[in-house]
Structures are given as structure tokens and as C-alpha cells.
Amino acid sequence: MDDTTAGTPLNDEPALPGFPAAPAPEAQASPYRVLARKYRPRTFDDLIGQEAMVRTLSNAFETGRIPQAWMLTGVRGVGKTTTARILARGLNYQKEDGTGAPTIHMPELGVHCQAIMESRHVDVLEMDAASHTGIDDVRQIIDGIRYSPVSARYKVYIIDEVHMLSEKAFNAFLKTLEEPPPHAKFIFATTEIRKVPVTILSRCQRFDLRRIEADKLVAHLGRICQAEGVQADQEALAAIARAAEGSARDSLSLMDQAIAHGAGVVTPDTVRDMLGLADRTQVLDLFEAVMKGDVPAAFAGLRSQYDAGADPAVILSDLAAFSHVVTRLKLIPEAAKDPALSEIERTRGLDYAQKLSVRTLSRAWQMLLKGIPEVQSSSRPISAAEMVLVRLAYAADLPTPDEALRALKDGAPVPSGGPALSRPSGGPSGPSVSGNMALATSQPQPQPRPQAAQTEPTMRLRRFEDVVALAGEKREIVLKAALERDVRLVRFEEGHIELSLTDSGNRTIANDLSRALQQWTGQRWMVSLSSEEGAPTLREQAITAERERKEGAANHPLVQAVLSKFPGAQIVNVIERADKAGEEAETELSEADVLAAHQAEADDDEIF
């Protein structure tokens, strides 16, 4: 399919290649038709962004494998109803001389084409299921489907928003939809495919119409502006395409509004004023100030855009969108070729992608994503947006919990993320900055390396339990669980472990443990599997020890006295107390407990 083509008007205006010319002065007396209707696609060649569906339909029509029903789904404005009408036109395509067959290639208008595209053909019936939801409406279709078409080849039923039908209406459709007459075809369209029963979906050939990519929307809008004789800036078209979110109808509606707002000239300022968007350059300056931790500059940039009429929630949304752009440019540098990006976004985005880490960018994205609903629901949106920027500037470069623990263990300083209150070297009057210095300098500052880490001896593992504890410390949760649950220790020496597996154990655990130990300790470990039985697993040992503790506690006279006084009571847990002063302290403590128990028995009649 050729994506460079676009829809043409339904009237007989003279056409340029791909588009009609601007209307003649005498034609301007006719009622104005919005761009979404005027440039509605009339053939499959006019559709943009739906190549997979067009390819499938083309092969089906050419081989004669035409199903009895189609289900078209997708977000609003991607062409579901338009595709249904083009399908109906292709099914009933017939030339003036009477020749023709079902096809998707319709270079000229056929006998029924104009009436079908204008929704006035007697054999192509359109029904809005949002206003005809009951079983009586479906009965009318079922009663009329038995009659042959009046003039066309097929009787086509187009049901829009089919998910709005009631349960009884869906059930009434089942038999007719599965075995319709040879002259009947059904085309369903919906935005809520999950609400359509599976019994209906299984009887239809489903097509998911995709969102139209931003670059294709920009090119489409540019061709329409050229056909309409409208001057439009490329950056303005890109802003409209972003606001449309992949919907062709939304983009054309916004273009109509922008043309009226700018008196025939579409500029970035026109689109920003119309949509309440923030200046893209100011958004990038705000992003840089936040990443540098310069809170005063961030506040000034936010207030400037707010005073110009931008919505604080929209400003944060643009910040989040640019954070995503920088992340993509960092991970996929080829994304800079995206035509939807402006030159300033491409240049500065690549610069930020080289300086910022993925951790900083992902955390900024998360904080902005959580801050946008706060701003939207706040009674003071600008204040809420400022607090989001404060959190972002002070906390976006904080270390992760495992990094902080590792730094504390190694003796290295941990960044606090709080305000550093440092001033530039130019003088005491310079602005203060926060602790998030992600973009404060392009040269990394040298960090003092602890001397102890250089002279620290090789890690020593003296027991198998030390290996399991090390796996937990390294956050290898799956490996730690497998060592506790599936491994029976046969022999342990430093550098060599021999073990056997339970029935549920994975034989790859030996290689996994060997590689992990070599990485953690810096020395080679040999881990082998043995056919010997080995000791019980650590989990079995823990269960046995817990059972023994409970049995020992149950034999204690004090516990027996409590259990006898409270029938049905059970020992839930046993906590061992550490000796602080040797056996004498433990003995004294036990004697005190016994005396307390005797006192409790003496007072039993008064208490109970």
C-alpha cells in the first residue's frame, strides 16, 4: 500500500496529484465540510498506517476467501467505520458496463460506490449499537436478512460500537452470524473488544487497527495543508500529531481548529496557545534545570510557562515525555532519526543522553508519572507542580537501596540527596543548588576510594551456610531458595563443594553456583554432584529444629501449666533468649519464671 496517498473529497473538485485543489471562489458558497469528512479515505490506498490489514484483505479478495463477518477494533479515529464502508464498497464493486467482482482495487467510482460512501445505499445498512442495544433491533436485522439485495451483489450490515449490544442481542446474533445467507456480510466495529463475547469473536475475522505513527500523521497533515493552501510549520504539525495520539480524526479536528485559530497560518505558537501547551524550548530548559538540581531556576521556568497559560499538569506531562525521549536516545541512538522530533529535541536530547544515567532517567520518569495525578487533583496545581519539581531535583539521583548498603559496607560516602547548599566558585552570590547534580558538570568528580577495600583479603567461606547467606546478600533470591530447598550437602571444603539433589532439584545448580562463587569471591570453586545421600537440606534442618524447640517448650512445666489452664491453646512460636551473663543468669531467670508461675497458680481463683 502506498502511504503517501490520502483521502480525497467526495465532491467533484479538480484534483492535484493525491489531493484536490483549493476550492474555487464560486464553490465556497457550499456549506463548509470539516477536514475529517472532506479528506475521509475512499479506497484502501487512502488508508495510512494499516498495511497489515490491507495486505490480508487483498490476498483474501484475490483468492476468493472472503469471510462472512469482520470485526474491526482499535482506538477512536483510526478508521474503523471508514474501513467498513470501503469493505462494503469493495464487496459490491461494479462498473458502469456491468462488469466487476469483489476487489479492493477501485481506481474509479462504480455503480454503487457513491451511495455507499455517503451512507445512503439501500443494501448497505449501518446501525449504531450505542442507540440500538436491544434484541428487537437485532430481530429486525434477522428478519430482513432472508431477502436478497435489491441492486447490489451483497447485503452488508455495518454495526458500529457493537460492544454496546445487550447480552440477549448478542445471543440472538449467534446462529445468523455463523450461518448467514450467501448474499449477506457483517462488519462490526468497536473500541472495547474485551466487552464483545468470545462466541461472537470466534465467528468473525478480526483486525486490530493500529494507532497511526507520528511521522505518518505529520506527512498526512502536511499534504492536506498543501491541498488547502494553508501555511503550516513542521513543528506545529508535529505538536498536533503528538496531541492526536495516533488518531487521524483527532489530528484533522485539531488542524481545523488551528487553521481557524491562526487565520489560515498554523505556527507553533498558534498550536501552543490553542492546546494550552508549554513552549518546547522552555520545557527542555526546565528539564535541564531540574537535572542540575537548580531549584530556583526550575521554579522560575515553571512559573513563566504557567503565566503564559500552560497547564501545570501538561508541563509535567511534557517533562515526562521528554524524559522518555532522552531514555530512548540513550538506549537506541538510531531513534534520533524519528521525524516527529524537532531539531532542538534531537540535539539536546542526544546531549542529555550522554550525561544522564538510565537510573536517573527512569527515576525521573517514575516521579513525574506519580506527580501528574497529584497536580490534576490538587486545589492548587501550580504549588503541587512545584513540590513535584522539588522532589525530582533533590531525590532523582539518590542511590538505590542495594547501592546504599554496598557503599556503607565498603566505607564509601553515601549521597544524601538533600540540599548541598554549595555555591559556584564565582562568588557567594551565586544561586544555590540541590544535591541532584546529574547535569551540573559533564566531567565526573573523583570519588575517594576506601583503602580498606584495596587491602581486604579474599572472602572466606567456612561453611555451606555461609554460601547460602552470601547468595542472599548478593540478592540472588532464586539461587538462595534452591540451595535451601533442593540441595543436600555431602562434603564442604574451601574451594570445593560436593552435594546431592532432591527429586525437585535442577542439575544446573552446580554450574550456576560455581560461576556465582567465582564472581563473588574472586577464586575458582569446584561444585560437583554426588550420588551419596548427604545431609538434610537446610529447610529440612530448619523444620526439624523448629519442631524440637516446640517439643522442648511443650515439656516445660511452666508451659504445661499454661496449656492445662487454657484448653485448645497451641504453641505458635518459640524464641530463644540469648545469655547475657552465662548460665547463672539463665538459671535465675528460669527460677523467677517458676516463682511467677506458682504465684499465678495461687492467684488463679481470683483471676479466673
Q: Does domain 1-41+212-264 have CATH number 1.10.8.60?
A: yes
Beta bridge partners of 128: 160
Q: What pLDDT is stored for residue 476 in this prediction?
A: 82
Residues 249 and 397: their CA atoms lie apart, in Å, by 41
Cell numbers found for residue 170: 448478542
Within 10 angstroms of residue 56's Cβ, the number of other Cβ atoms is: 12
Q: 280 or 74, which is more confident?
A: 74
Q: 465 or 438, which is more confident?
A: 465
Query: What does the DSSP 8-state code read for residue 337?
Result: G
201 burial (CB, 10 Å; 0-12 / 13-18 / 19+) is: middle
Q: Of 329, 340, 314, which is closest to residue 236 (Cα–Cα)?
A: 340
CATH number of 50-208: 3.40.50.300
Cell numbers found for residue 251: 489530528
Within 10 angstroms of residue 348's Cβ, the number of other Cβ atoms is: 20
- CB-facing half-sphere around the CA of 418: CA atoms within 13 A: 2
3-state class (DSSP) for residue 541: helix
Question: Is the Cβ–Cβ distance between 220 and 191 less than 8 Å?
Answer: no
Q: How confident is the model at residue 156 (pLDDT cuts 50, 70, 90)?
A: very high
Angle 227-46-117 from CA coordinates, rounded to 5°: 95
* Backbone phi, psi, residue 478, to 5°: -65, -45
pLDDT (tens digit, 9 = 90+) per residue, 30-56?
678 888 888 888 888 888 888 888 888
Query: What is 280-410's CATH number, 1.20.272.10, 3.30.70.890, 1.10.3470.10, 1.10.4080.10?
Result: 1.20.272.10
Cell numbers found for residue 109: 467510482
Beta bridge partners of 496: 493, 526
* Backbone phi, psi, residue 280, to 5°: -65, -40
For 505: left if phi > 0, alpha if psi spans -120 to 50, otherwise beta; the answer is: beta
Q: What pLDDT is stored for residue 155 in this prediction?
A: 92
Residues 601 and 608: their CA atoms lie apart, in Å, by 10
Q: What pLDDT is stored for residue 34 in this prediction?
A: 86
**What is 425-493 written as a DSSP string?**
TT-TTSPP--S--TTT-SSPPPPPPPHHHHHPPPP---SHHHHHHHHHHTT-HHHHHHHHHHEEEEEEE
Q: Determine the average pLDDT of the residues in 503-522.
A: 83
In angstroms and rounded to an integer, the radius of gyration of the C-alpha atoms of the chain is 37
Q: Do domains 50-208 and 280-410 have the same CATH topology?
A: no
Q: How confident is the model at residue 198 (pLDDT cuts 50, 70, 90)?
A: very high
Q: How far is CA 90 from the centre of its chain?
A: 37
Q: Determine the average pLDDT of the residues in 210-234.
A: 87
Instruction: Kindly compute the dihedral angle of the four CA atoms of residues 533, 535, 541, 544, in this order, to the nearest 10 degrees.
Output: 70
Question: Is the Cβ–Cβ distance between 490 and 527 less than 8 Å?
Answer: no
Query: What does the DSSP 8-state code read for residue 43?
Result: S
Q: 167 or 97, which is more confident?
A: 167
Residues 165 and 129: their CA atoms lie apart, in Å, by 6
Query: SS3 sequence, 228-286?
Result: HCCEECHHHHHHHHHHHCCCHHHHHHHHHHHHHHCCCEECHHHHHHHHCCCCHHHHHHH
pLDDT (tens digit, 9 = 90+) per residue, 111-135?
888 888 888 889 998 888 888 888 8
Residues 501 and 530: their CA atoms lie apart, in Å, by 8
Q: How confident is the model at residue 460 (pLDDT cuts 50, 70, 90)?
A: confident
Residue-range domain boundaries for the chain:
1-41+212-264, 50-208, 280-410, 464-535, 554-607
The answer to whether residue 265 scores a pLDDT higher than 50 is yes
The model carries a pTM of: 0.54
CB contact burial 287-307 (16+ within 10 A = b; e otherwise): bbbbbbbbbebbbebbeebbe
The answer to whether residue 295 scores a pLDDT higher than 80 is yes
What is the CATH architecture of 464-535?
A: 2-Layer Sandwich (3.30)
Residues 420 and 243: their CA atoms lie apart, in Å, by 39
Residue 354's identity, in one-letter code, is: Q
Residues 6+ apart with CB under 8 A from 409: none
Beta bridge partners of 15: 20
* Backbone phi, psi, residue 114, to 5°: -60, -45
Residues 110 and 83: their CA atoms lie apart, in Å, by 17
Question: Is the Cβ–Cβ distance between 512 and 479 less than 8 Å?
Answer: yes
pLDDT (tens digit, 9 = 90+) per residue, 579-595?
544 444 343 334 334 33
pLDDT (tens digit, 9 = 90+) per residue, 298-319?
999 899 888 877 888 988 998 9
Question: Is the Cβ–Cβ distance between 35 and 224 less than 8 Å?
Answer: yes
